[in-house]
Amino acid sequence: MAEEIERKFLVADPSFLHGVEGIDCTQGYMPGRERSVVRIRIKGQRGFLTIKSAARGIARSEFEYEIPLSDAREMLALLCDKPLVEKTRYEVSFADNLWEVDVFSGLNNGLVLAEIELEAADQDFEKPPWLGREVSHDDRYFNSQLARNPYSTWASAD
């Protein structure tokens, strides 16, 4: 079993992304999310099926498999709840760590999040100067929740 330990932050200043190449992602979620989340993602020209357990703090079980792009497109169209989550993902190295920075579009336009995957929940890491506040424990910022309750619909968006 694979375990994902992830910390998530708002990005206070996304200007550092100018000139950095990102990859477009579209993802959707299958109905029935009580014990797990089933995600279909198209990242660039590759399709993925991901199954994640319910979160246990900042950790959860994760299983991800590459699937044919045509299958991913069909699953997004036929099986996933709408709206789909649209974003551009940037991979940014800082202090020997890889950060995934997501700039959302569509109904989540205006939201920019940064995530770091860790080896242990208590692992120390250096925070880049462009990070804002941590939202790891705020379920609203899970992509699966952004599909159900898009950022643009929040009464007072951060």
Residues involved in catalysis: 29
Q: Give the C-alpha distances (Å, rounded to integers) separating 14 from 104, 111, 121.
A: 12, 10, 26
Between CA 119 and CA 16 the distance in angstroms is 26
User: Alpha-carbon distance 76 to 80, whole Å?
Assistant: 5
Rounded Cα–Cα distance for residues 121 and 51 (Å): 20
Whole-angstrom distance, CA of residue 144 vs CA of residue 59: 16
DSSP designation for 111: -
Quote the tokens at residue 113.
């999040």
Distance set, CA 127 to CA 115, 117, 132, 134, 144 (Å): 11, 13, 10, 11, 25
